């Protein structure tokens, strides 16, 4: 496996955020672009939304297929609707009470389907190569888009409602790693910054992108799941700015945070082989309520007087 250069040194050790949530907003287009598989063997089919039996209900989050009937999502994503859909139409039932948190304090969980889809799972970024995640990454998720269509080019970009939720892809740069803390969670995360002028596919995670995918490629063009969107800085808007990872820079764009798969790869793999019978933690129910009431993320950037 040919590996790119390591991530830069940690720029900050801890970030305290209030609530979690995360569709992808794209700087260069409206809600109808990047909604089909771009090719290049990107694991497009493996990213699903959590939905109801008919697939008609708005998603409560995203999830990624690991193989063998197992899926990975953010721990705060509720599974109460009981189904996932990879294409927005065909649904697969979730095994009742199958969700198990990945480690203590980590906003990830593994759950099972009652029947496996007819394709392979994603590759998890290996723990042995932690620190070598590619700086170039591709996001795939089922979050909402912008509030206006065509895209209002003003900044910040306001998030749309559930009618704008669809599977989209976009790109960004993994620029740092940190410990992220919010709502009782604390875990290792990869960080992207929402840079203006970084290309038309520069992407921001929004509500319902929690549990979706941040993919990277190695030198042999193999795709790996490097991160899972779990938390963003703002509630209902995305600010694009300077593409920097200095948290004190008042001109910077928002940070998006992704649970670092290389740190938890062994725990995830272990849950795919052991029986999963533990009910979801109570924390999930709390966060579902917060998401439903629109209490997502509160901006914590320090602004000059």
* pLDDT score for 151: 60
Q: Has residue 36 been placed in a domain? A: yes
Q: How many CB atoms lie within 10 A of CB 32?
A: 13
Is the backbone peptide bond immediately before 118 cis, with ω within 30 degrees of 0?
no
* pTM for this model (two decimals): 0.84
* pLDDT score for 197: 82
Q: Has residue 117 been placed in a domain? A: yes
Q: Has residue 165 been placed in a domain? A: yes
* Full domain range(s) for residue 24: 14-292
Tokens coding 160:
């749309």
Domain containing residue 101: CATH number:
2.40.10.120
How many angstroms separate the CA atoms of 194 and 189, rounded? Answer: 16
pLDDT digits (tens, 9 = 90+) for 144-165: 988 876 566 567 888 988 888 8
Q: Has residue 2 been placed in a domain? A: no
* pLDDT score for 276: 57
- Give CA 155 to chain center in angstroms: 22
- Asked if 218 and 277 touch (Cβ cutoff 8 Å), the reply is no
Q: Has residue 55 been placed in a domain? A: yes
* pLDDT score for 291: 33
Domain count, the chain: 1
* pLDDT score for 298: 29
Q: Which residues in the chain land under pLDDT 50?
A: 1-3, 8-16, 18-23, 278-305
Contacts of 127 (CB under 8 A, 6+ apart): 262, 263, 265, 266
Longest dimension (CA), the chain: 56
Q: How many CB atoms lie within 10 A of CB 37?
A: 14
Q: Has residue 244 been placed in a domain? A: yes
Q: Has residue 267 been placed in a domain? A: yes
How many angstroms separate the CA atoms of 224 and 221, rounded? Answer: 10
The string of DSSP codes covering 30-58 is -TTSS-S---TT---TTEEEEE-TTS-SP
* pLDDT score for 28: 62
Burial of 299 (0-12, 13-18, 19+ CB in 10 A): middle
* pLDDT score for 191: 97
Q: Has residue 301 been placed in a domain? A: no
- Asked if 93 and 115 touch (Cβ cutoff 8 Å), the reply is yes
Total residues found in the chain within this entry: 305
pLDDT digits (tens, 9 = 90+) for 130-143: 999 988 999 999 99
Segment holding 193, helix H or strand E: strand 185-193
């Amino acid at each position: 496996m040919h590996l790119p250069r390591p991530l830069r040194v940690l720029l900050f050790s801890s970030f305290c955020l209030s609530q979690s949530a995360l569709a992808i907003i794209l700087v260069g287009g409206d809600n109808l672009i990047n909604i089909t598989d771009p090719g290049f063997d990107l694991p497009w089919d493996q990213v699903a939304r959590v939905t109801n039996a008919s697939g008609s209900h708005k998603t409560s989050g995203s999830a990624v297929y690991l193989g063998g009937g197992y899926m990975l999502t953010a721990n705060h994503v509720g599974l109460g609707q009981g189904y996932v859909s990879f294409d927005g139409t065909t649904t697969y039932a979730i095994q009742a009470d199958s969700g198990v948190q990945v480690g203590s304090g980590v906003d990830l969980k593994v759950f099972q389907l009652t029947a496996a889809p007819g394709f392979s799972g994603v590759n998890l970024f290996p723990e042995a190569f932690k620190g070598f995640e590619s700086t170039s990454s591709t996001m795939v998720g089922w979050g909402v888009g912008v509030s206006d269509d065509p895209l209002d080019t003003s900044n910040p970009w306001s998030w749309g409602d559930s009618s704008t939720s669809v599977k989209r892809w976009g790109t960004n740069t993994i620029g740092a790693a940190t410990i992220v803390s919010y709502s009782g969670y604390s875990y290792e995360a990869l960080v992207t910054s929402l840079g203006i002028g970084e290309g038309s596919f520069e992407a921001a995670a929004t509500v319902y992108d929690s549990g979706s995918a941040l993919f990277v490629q190695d030198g042999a063009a193999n795709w790996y799941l490097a991160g899972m969107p779990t938390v963003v800085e703002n509630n209902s808007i995305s600010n694009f700015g300077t593409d920097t990872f200095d948290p004190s820079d008042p001109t910077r764009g928002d940070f998006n945070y992704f649970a670092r798969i290389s740190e938890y790869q062994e725990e995830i793999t272990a849950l795919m082989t052991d029986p999963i019978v533990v009910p979801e933690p109570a924390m999930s129910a709390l966060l579902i309520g917060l998401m439903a009431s629109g209490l997502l993320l509160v901006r914590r950037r320090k602004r000059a007087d």
